[in-house]
């Protein structure tokens, strides 16, 4: 059973993101602590859900060989968010970009790109399919989202992860994740949040993510269509409902008539 000392240490690790291995060890430790049952029982449920997903056939997106990587990965939607804030981040090489994780979590977090890059990473070569009728195969590297969500400690009843982006598709400059008409956002449910191929990606084809493809951080949610893969992510909001966010349909394109579950 975790002692108070363990809990303090874990909090420190989550805040500062020390050794990545220790993070996972500590999180597992806490999930076993009955005193935290009300917060972490949900995590146990999701672990079971995840294991069911792993056992079911066809639940992984196909992964390809390096030889299959497309020579050019088309960029689509916003190609550069622009605005003073984003331009400054580009000039600073994203040294001060933060990814916030908040909402229905026990430990709200704010992580730099450097901190994320120190966490365990997964690399996968997958095919991206856009509704506009094009596909591209690329190699993505990033932190599995489930590691971040376990560290943040999702509360009982939390369901959705909402990804807030720095770009406004209707031309307004970036507003730091504040939801205004035209601000890009997306959301996914538990099965995708805890799926091993769901990443907060910081690299495409072995290089840091470039501006056109979502620098510095973007979502990969491989069993769904292109528009679900939010670029320029600066905030992950955990919630039990997205009805009150923007147009209430769970994403920029969903608010404009596209399906929320865009399974391939």
DSSP state of 209: P
Say whether residue 24 binds ligand MTE (CB under 6 A).
Answer: no
What is the rounded distance in angstroms from the CA atom of residue 259 to the CA atom of residue 115? 34
Cβ-closest position to ligand MTE: 77
Going by C-alpha positions, the residue among 245, 131, 259, 250 that lies closest to residue 187 is 250
Nearby residues of 157 by Cβ (< 8 Å), 6 or more positions away = 42, 104, 240
Binding Mo ion (rule: CB under 5 A), the pick from 106, 130, 156, 212 is 130
Residue 165 · residue 232 · CB < 8 Å:
yes
| From 82, 142, 226, 250, residue interacting with ligand MTE (rule: CB under 6 A) | 226
Give the helix/strand (H/E) hosting 171: none
Quick one: which of 24, 125, 130, 156 contacts ligand MTE (CB under 6 A)? 130
- Binding of ligand MTE by 167 (CB under 6 A): yes
Q: Does residue number 86 form part of the binding site for ligand MTE (CB under 6 A)?
A: no
Site pattern 41..80 for ligand MTE (x: CB under 6 A)? ---------------------------------xxxxx--
Q: What's the rounded Cα separation, in Å, for the pair 134 and 74?
A: 8
Binding site for ligand MTE (CB under 6 A): 74-78, 130, 165, 167, 169, 184, 212-214, 226-227, 229-232
């Amino acid at each position: 059973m975790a002692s108070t000392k363990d809990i303090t240490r874990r909090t420190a690790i989550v805040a500062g993101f020390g050794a990545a291995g220790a993070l996972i060890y500590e999180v597992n430790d806490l999930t076993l602590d009955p005193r935290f049952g009300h917060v972490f029982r949900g995590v146990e449920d999701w672990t079971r859900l995840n294991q069911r997903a792993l056992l079911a056939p066809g639940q992984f997106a196909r992964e390809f060989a390096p030889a299959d990587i497309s020579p050019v990965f088309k960029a689509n939607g916003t190609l550069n968010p622009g605005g003073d804030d984003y331009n400054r981040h580009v000039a600073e090489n994203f040294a001060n970009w933060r990814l916030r994780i908040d909402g229905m979590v026990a430990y709200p977090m704010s992580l730099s790109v450097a901190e994320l890059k120190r966490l365990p990473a997964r690399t996968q070569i997958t095919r991206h399919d856009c509704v506009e009728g094009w596909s591209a195969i690329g190699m993505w590297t990033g932190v599995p989202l489930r590691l971040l969500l376990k560290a943040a400690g999702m509360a009982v009843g939390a369901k959705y992860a909402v990804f807030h982006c720095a770009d406004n598709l209707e031309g307004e400059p970036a507003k730091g994740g504040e939801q205004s008409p035209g601000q890009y956002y997306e959301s996914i449910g538990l099965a995708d949040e805890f799926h091993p191929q769901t990443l907060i990606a910081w690299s495409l084809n072995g290089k840091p993510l470039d501006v056109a493809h979502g620098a510095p951080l973007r979502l990969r949610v491989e069993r769904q269509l292109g528009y679900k893969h939010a670029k320029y992510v600066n905030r992950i909001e955990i919630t039990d409902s997205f009805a009150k966010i923007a147009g209430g349909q769970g994403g920029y394109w969903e608010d404009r008539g596209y399906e929320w579950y865009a399974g391939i």
